[in-house]
Structures are given as structure tokens and as C-alpha cells.
Chains A and B, each alone.
Chain A
């Protein structure tokens, strides 16, 4: 057994979550509260925000200032880009992606959602389910975030009334059902006073469910609960021929991260695109041999046979092949200021592979406020549409809903090198 397998489960891993809401929903205050009550904020940071709070004429410390990042944002008092925050409870480490709520920043929300295991959607208890609530819910569902928490905030401003909470919950469930959202939890809270965030407080006795932090602590971090097929995209090939060690002359290590499933010594595998078959000779991390490796581990794989493999190829278990295809249907979020041009050729990056691509058709554009399909000829920034692409080279794809890693791709504009689109294969 290697050192890595022997390490005790000293912690409950790492959870990445996303907070969505607009300036007024108290999102920054909620994050500030999580950092503050989990004792992540340190003395000098606290002094700095205390100074700023006073400068702006406030009596109490404004916790929202903790997430206040860029100069332009401080000037405008809004959040314009995804910011990442960190805290730990001792048992689990958290990465918060703080996504702005404004309509024009849909792309930031999709960006933040793409790596999240859980989303917190904030609703102002005085306002209930708004258009932006629907938009945020649609986007978290589109990006297939496994867990959804609806935090009904500012309960202090509605006298902590249970019927307000119940009405909002019923409204939300009605439209969530239309979207196909199943796993959702509701928590009443006051980020300002700290009720039901880390501490229960004393004003929400009618609520028997878990606090927000209890939900975060218990959330399962697996992307899918069921056994997944092996997907091992090759990132880099290690051939240390010039080494003084003669044992390494024939060493050919295929380096990458297990994106899903398990890879074990002796497994029968196929290498795409050629489809050549072989067996796993060794699984290594830093020269140490493992019996097997799991999803999310970065490893080196050695095979029994000498097969020509390069970056962009994929090792899978024989008989569990992904779809090898030059035509994809996908939900596409357009991220760039210049609209998608059907006449132009773009680059698509999918796992470790890159191919030229052309738009084949736009089936519909999603009106994410009304959650309705519309006809569309072109796509502008922040548009979301169902499209199809023709590809110059095959990719090895699964449906995004089955596998995030082999279902996702980005679109790159070769004339600017910018990332202009985010796609999810359907």
C-alpha cells in the first residue's frame, strides 16, 4: 500500500459552493457571516473593514465589505467578477465562488457554477421568488450542480414569520418542478443577525431543519453516486529517455487525472481514437505504485503494450466507450461581446483535446427569465441556446448530465485567443 492510500481520513474533503443573489439579497453579508462565525476572519482584516464601515457612516461592522474586491467594484459598490473565498470548519475545507447577480453577468455565474458541488440561492424574504431567482435556478440546473439550497434571507425584516417562509417555499417548488429540479432544501435565515447560518439563534424556533453550515458539512462531494465508466484523458506523455537510469529507457508514462471511474492494475483498456487495446501495467503517483486510482486523482498510467499515445488521447475501460463523434448537440452559453458568427471557424477544447469547429444550427435560444424557448439567428453575450457543431476531429464525449468532465467544452476564438463560449453536450 502506498502512502497516499494509507493516509487516514483526517478530514471530510473539500466542498466547492456557489452563492447566487443580487446586491440587495444580502449575499455578501451571508458570506461575511460564514467567514466571521467560522472564525476565518483575522484581526487586521476586521480592523480594515471596521475603518471602512465607519468611513461610510455605518454603526456596525458591514460584513459585506469582506467580499469587496476590485477597485472598480469598491467605487461602484457592486460585484463585477467571480471572487473565490476560503474557510474551514476543521472537518472540511470550503471554496466559495461568489458570483455577481446582475443580469449582464450571466457568464460569471456560469463560470462560478461550473466547478461547484452545491449552490445557495438567496431570496429576500420581503420579495419572494423574483425573475432573477428563476434565472439563477435555471443556470444552476443547466450547469448540473448536484445540490441546491434556497436560503430565504432577511427573516428579521418579516418578523421571522413562518407563513412567509412557507409561501415562498411553495412558490419556488412550483416553478422548480417545471425545470425538473428535484433535490432542493429550504432554510430560513438572517445573515445580518446570524440566525441559522452557523448558529441557530433564538428567533426561528419553528424551523426544525439543519442550519446552513450543517447542510454544507453533510453534503456529498461525489459528482455522481453511481459507479461511472473510466475516463482518463491523457495530458502529457513522460519519456525520460535521456535519463542515466537504464531502467527508464523504455519508460512511457501516460500522465493525467482520472476524470471519472476507477483504474486498476490489470484492467483491460482501450485507447481512443485508435481503439487499440491493452492492459494497465502500473498506476503511479510520483514513482510509487498504487493498485488503483479514483476519480480526481492525478496519476501516471503504464500499459503492457507499446502503443503510440499522445496528449488528447483517452484511456477508457474496454467495452465502456464514450461517444466518438464529429457532431455534437449542446447547450451553449455565449460569453463574448462579439456575437457567435455562423460563418466562422472556432476552436473547441474538450478534455485535453482541441479541434476546429463550425456552428451547424441554432435550435432555439432560451429566454432564461421566462424559461421559454425562442427562435434565434444569432447569439450575443449571455445568451444560452441549444446548438449543434460540426467538428474537424472526433472528440470522446458523454452527455454532460452523465459526466461533467467529458460533457463540457469551451469555445475559443482563434483571432483573439479568448474563451468565448461554454458548452454542455446533451
Chain B
């Protein structure tokens, strides 16, 4: 026996422990929470954290994906496979159903459905009566997020009011909400993209194949690359090239762009991330470039 009474946790151990603590607070404070799982790398980390938080028990919440209908098949397959392996319940609600109901109306057929996920999410929250949604957003992703609480209150319309946030002190989280209101919870708020990759490596987490370098048909548009797919065809005059790429984020096809890369292992991705010169959203999210305040605007309107 040693007399050791204190030790410094590595930064990953600290971040993991904080995230487990947050998930258990949700389980302890909320009657009917749900964990949003897209098959993306951040939500894959969230599932590992949930295992560490609740095994050998079942998760005290189902998993849910809001599907725009424009997701890469590899990611959708991975999502289903991962939920099955864990033996946890997966709910999928689709933006296309909201379109059929008439609650989502696209301005044009080729408008991105990404921002319309908010509507479908709110409909699903109402359908199941969820009082809390756990998500994998991080504060380093975008400057509006840098100010968001870990337990973030949303009103009946799903709106975030950045000027009227609940004070959040120590780790005494306040998840109280009235019926119809909702709390969004972000257990990996304090993680950076680099932390996520380090955690994936340490925990040997499986990822959808499109995160690794592969050959893909793309066109170059507005200084970035756009994958050529059924929903994002090449425009007249554009040259289709085949390039070695990987995705740093995965989401709706219409607004998620790959980066050129030869990194075909986690270790190579980490090395690339360590030396990269473009921030994650800047490189790959076409929807955040519209204005300086675009993420803040979408969050006010109920976006995750």
C-alpha cells in the first residue's frame, strides 16, 4: 500500500470524468432525457462516456438521430450497427417526414435541409415528451458556443437566449424546466477537436469509414471542395476530380465538405490535426460562413 492520497489526472481522464459526471447528473435530475447520436465522431465519444457512466446497467435514455435524409450511407449504417451492438434503443426521426407534414418548407428543392433539423428535433421532443437532450457540441467549435452553458435552457419554442442564460457555478447544474421547456446538455463542452481524436485513439473507438482517407469525386467551389453526390451534383462548367480526402465532421451532405488528406489511421489523423492550419468548422462547414453570427442566429432559433 502506498500513502498516495492525491494524483493529477491526465487531461483526457479529467475531461472524461467531467463528462461522466454531467451524464449522471442528467440521469439523476431529468425524468425523460434522450441522447442525440448521429454516427459522427463526437457522438461516438459520447456513447463511450455513457458506457463508462452507466454500465453494467442500461443507459437511462434512448438514442435519437434527426436524419435529414441527406446523410452518407456509411454513417447511417454505422449508426444502426453501433446502437445494435450496445443493445440500446435508437429513435430516428426524419426531416423528410416534417416536409411531408408541411412543417418544414424548403425555399427551393436544393436548399440545405441542415437548418431544418431544428423543426424535426422540436417535433420529436414534443412527441416523446423529452425534458433533456444530451448532445456532443463543443465550445471550441464556434464562438457562439464558447459562451453556452453545459446545461443550456431552451424555452417552449426551443430558443436559446444568450443574454439571459442561467448562471452555472461550480458543477452544481440546474436542469429544472417546466413542461414543454427543455434542457440541452453538452457533456463534452470543454473538449477540443484534438481531445476528441486523442480520446478516440486511447479508447480504440470505431468510426465510420469516411473519416479516413479515401478516393472521392469532388468539385471545387467557393474555395472549398464539395463532394459530388446525387443531392449535390456538379454544376454546369464545373470539373469533377477524384481526390484523396477525408471528412473532419460528418453531417448533412449538402453542407459538409471533405479536406484533402492521406491520413488513413487515427494516429495519422492526430498528427495532421496537430499541425493543421484551418479550424474544423472553417474547413468543412459551408453553413457557418454566411455571416459572422450565423451559428448564434441558428441557435436562437432552436438549432442544436
- Residues on A lying within 8 angstroms of B by beta carbon are 4, 7, 9-14, 42-45, 48, 52, 68-72, 74, 80-86, 88, 92-93, 95, 107-108, 110-111, 114-115, 221-222, 227-228, 235-236, 238-240, 242-243, 245, 248, 251, 253, 255-257, 261-262, 285-287, 294-298, 311, 335, 349-350, 352, 404-405, 408-410, 412, 417-419, 422
Question: Whole-angstrom distance from the CB of A381 to the nearest CB of chain B?
Answer: 11
Binary CB contact string for chain B from 259 to 296 against chain A (1 if under 8 A, 0 otherwise)? 00000000000000000111100110000000011001
Tell me the minimal C-beta distance from B298 to chain A in angstroms.
12
Cβ B56 vs Cβ A248 within 8 A? yes
Q: By the criterion CB–CB under 8 Å, are A285 and B24 in contact?
A: no
Interface residue stretch chosen among B90-98, B112-120, B160-168, B230-238: B160-168
Interface centre among A107, A404, A419 (most CB of B within 10 A): A419
> How far apart are B259's CB and chain A's nearest CB, in angstroms?
12
Q: Find chain A residues with CB under 8 A from B4 CB.
A: 262
**Contact, CB under 8 Å: B166 / A418:** yes
Interchain Cβ contacts within 8 Å, total number: 191
Known A42-B278, A93-B11, A409-B172; judge A294-B6 contact (CB<8 A): yes
Near A by CB (< 8 A), chain B positions 171-194 give 171-172, 174, 176-178, 189-190, 192, 194
Provide the bound-state CA to CA distance between A422 and B171, in Å: 12
Q: Per-position contact with A for B128-162: 1 when CB-CB < 8 Å, else 0?
A: 00000000000110011011000000000000001
B71 at the interface (CB under 8 A from A): no
B21 touches A110 (CB 8 A): no
- CB <8 Å contact, B169 and A410: yes
Identify which of B8, B11, B194 contacts A222 (C-beta below 8 A): B8
Choose from B28, B165, B190 the contact partner of A84 (Cβ within 8 Å). Answer: B190
CB-based contact A11/B10 at 8 Å: yes
Contact assessment for B146 and A417 in the assembled complex, using a CB-CB cutoff below 8 Å = no
Q: Which residues of chain B are near A287, meaning CB under 8 Å?
A: 55-56
Chain B residue numbers with a CB within 8 Å of A84 are: 139, 146-147, 189-190
Chain B proximity of A76: nearest CB distance (Å): 11
| Interface CB pairs A-B, < 8 A, 18 | A9-B10, A14-B9, A42-B276, A43-B278, A69-B147, A86-B139, A88-B11, A93-B11, A114-B170, A253-B57, A297-B17, A298-B17, A298-B52, A311-B28, A352-B28, A408-B169, A419-B167, A422-B169
What are the 7 closest A-B residue pairs judged by CB atoms, nearest first?
A44-B282, A298-B20, A417-B176, A93-B11, A43-B277, A240-B57, A238-B57
Interface assignment of B14: CB less than 8 Å from any CB of chain A: yes
Taken residue by residue from 1 to 34, chain B's Cβ proximity to chain A (1 for < 8 Å, 0 otherwise) reads as 0001111111101111110110011011000000
Q: Is the CB of B170 within 8 A of A4?
A: no
B190→A4 contact, CB < 8 A:
no
- The yes or no answer to B58 lying at the interface (CB within 8 A) is yes
B177 touches A257 (CB 8 A): no
The contact of B162 among A70, A285, A294, A404, by CB within 8 Å, is A70
In the complex, are the beta carbons of B276 and A419 less than 8 A apart?
no
Q: Tell me the bound Cα distance from A417 to B277 in angstroms.
A: 43
Known contacts: A70-B296, A86-B139. The answer to whether A236 contacts B190 by CB under 8 A is: no
Contact A256:B24 (CB < 8 A) given known A408-B169, A418-B166: yes
Residue of B nearest to A45 (CB): B279
A115 contacts which chain B residues (CB < 8 A)?
169-171
Q: Which residues of A contact B162 (CB under 8 A)?
A: 70, 72, 81
Using Cβ atoms and an 8 Å threshold, which residues of chain A touch B58?
240, 242
Q: What is the predominant secondary structure among interface residues of chain A facing chain B?
A: mixed
A68 touches B143 (CB 8 A): yes
Chain B residues, CB < 8 A from A257: 17, 20-21
Question: Are A86 and B10 within 8 A (Cβ)?
Answer: no
| B52 close to A285 (CB less than 8 A) | yes
Task: Tell me, in angstroms, the Cα distance from A71 to B8 when the chains sit together.
Answer: 38
Q: B51 interface residue, CB < 8 Å from A?
A: yes
Find B25's partner among A14, A86, A235, A297 (CB 8 Å cutoff).
Answer: A235
B9, B194, B292 interface centre (most CB from chain A within 10 Å): B9
Please name 20 further chain A to chain B contacts, defined as beta carbons within 8 Å, in addition to the given A72-B162, A83-B146, A84-B146, sorted by A numbering.
Answer: A13-B8, A44-B279, A45-B282, A69-B146, A70-B147, A71-B297, A85-B146, A86-B192, A93-B11, A110-B169, A236-B54, A245-B56, A257-B17, A262-B5, A296-B9, A298-B24, A412-B174, A417-B177, A418-B166, A422-B167
Q: Which residues of B contact A235 (CB under 8 A)?
A: 21, 24-25, 27-28
Return the contact of B27 from the options A4, A7, A236, A294 (Cβ within 8 A). Answer: A236
Q: Distance in Å from the Cβ of A298 to the closest Cβ of chain B?
A: 4
Judge if B121 is at the interface, Cβ distance under 8 Å.
no
Q: Are B176 and A7 within 8 A (Cβ)?
A: no
Given A13-B11, A95-B190, A222-B6, are A417 and B169 also a contact pair (CB < 8 Å)? no
A62 to chain B, nearest CB (A): 14
Contacts of A10 in B (CB 8 A): 10
Chain A minimum-CB-distance residue to B280: A42
Shortest distance between the CB of B104 and any CB in chain A (Å): 25
